[in-house]
Amino acid sequence: GAVVSQHPSWVICKSGTSVKIECRSLDFQATTMFWYRQFPKQSLMLMATSNEGSKATYEQGVEKDKFLINHASLTLSTLTVTSAHPEDSSFYICSARTGGESGANVLTFGAGSRLTVL
Amino acid sequence: GQNIDQPTEMTATEGAIVQINCTYQTSGFNGLFWYQQHAGEAPTFLSYNVLDGLEEKGRFSSFLSRSKGYSYLLLKELQMKDSASYLCAVKDSNYQLIWGAGTKLIIKP
């Protein structure tokens, strides 16, 4: 089946530095990818929708300048957390629609990236 | 506002049956999903319901009643590996996914 590869799985960085997370669709093209953030024991929160060749669409309350999204090709989207702070520590997950049953457009998720900002 | 409600935590015994409920209030409805998420991992797709009724897939079944804004996930012959969080998500009229907070299922021997 379709696979979404996400890297890195774990990252620890110092406050004030930037961190890039990559999300790749393997063996299929993803014109649209989604970036989620999940705090412990909380629901998935959609941060932004990444569109190949155009600007990402951010959800209300998500800072565009802080969470830079680039979708330069049909198989790669990147999320860069700029000037990271401890409150940015979270589990970041990307996903892509991979078709599915009855047009459900099931989401296939990457393995997630756990970011810890010291 | 839009809201998805599911119990925070449930406990069940290995080999038994458990039902995880999900109620929703959304602006429109274009399908309901159940995902399984093991601790520290990304969610994986379990089921999709868009019409009323029961969808069975092996040990897992999912039920939907659109008039009641209600769904449940039924897990039979529970195994220890079923210990995970189960997320209910509804696609609203804008085809946006609204996620529940998840139900942590603990399986005891």
pLDDT in tens, B16-27: 999 999 999 999
pLDDT reported for residue A101: 52
Lowest mean pLDDT segment, chosen from B22-26, B37-41, B102-106: B37-41
Prior bond of A8 cis (ω within 30°)? yes
Comparing CA positions, the residue from B45, B64, B67 lying closest to residue B54 is B64
pLDDT < 70 regions, chain A: 99-104
**Quick one: pLDDT band at residue B2, thresholds 50, 70, 90?**
confident
Whether B47 and B36 have beta carbons less than 8 Å apart is answered as no
Helix segments in A13-106, DSSP class H? none
- Chain B positions touching A100 (Cβ under 8 A) are 45, 48
Give the one of B41, B87, B104 whose C-beta lies nearest to A112's C-beta: B41
Nearest CA in chain B to A48: B96
| CA–CA separation, B8 and B87 (whole Å) | 10
pLDDT in tens, A69-82: 999 888 999 999 99
| CA–CA separation, B40 and B35 (whole Å) | 14
Cβ of A42 within 8 Å of Cβ of B101? The answer is yes
> For all residues of chain B together, what is the average pLDDT?
94
| CA–CA separation, A111 and A6 (whole Å) | 6
Cβ of residue A43 closer than 8 Å to a chain B Cβ: yes
Share of chain B above pLDDT 90, in %: 82
Cβ of A102 within 8 Å of Cβ of B50? The answer is yes
Cβ of residue A60 closer than 8 Å to a chain B Cβ: no
Q: What is the mean pLDDT of residues B82-94?
A: 93
- Chain A positions touching B1 (Cβ under 8 A) are none
Cβ of residue B72 closer than 8 Å to a chain A Cβ: no
